[in-house]
Amino acid sequence: MQHLAVMFANSFTVDMLLQIVEGFADDFRKLAADTLTFMLRSEVGFSMDILRLFKELGGNEKLIALMTSTKSENVKGRLLVLL
């Protein structure tokens, strides 16, 4: 039961971070990208769940779309780390 609660919390967090990356100003995009990077590079078991959620929520597609549309080199650099 505890694992299920953690999974839903992670799902909500990843979804919110992707929404920030997709629709907010560049400063917030950078912070969200940094947070996602940290989450994906943390503990092995935890990061595999985050990676799975990231893919299920269309994270790669959202990041690629943003990479082609943003003019900020700083944002592109931080998003490139996630891809």
Q: What is the pLDDT of residue 47?
A: 64
Q: What is the DSSP string of 21-59?
A: HHHS-HHHHHHHHHHHHHHHTS-HHHHHHHHHHHHHTTH
Distance CA 32, CA 66 (A): 13
Which amino acid would we find at residue 52? R
pTM for this model (two decimals): 0.69
Task: Spell out the per-residue pLDDT of the chain, length 83, in tens.
Answer: 445 445 556 778 888 888 998 888 888 888 888 888 888 777 666 667 777 888 888 888 887 887 787 777 877 777 777 66
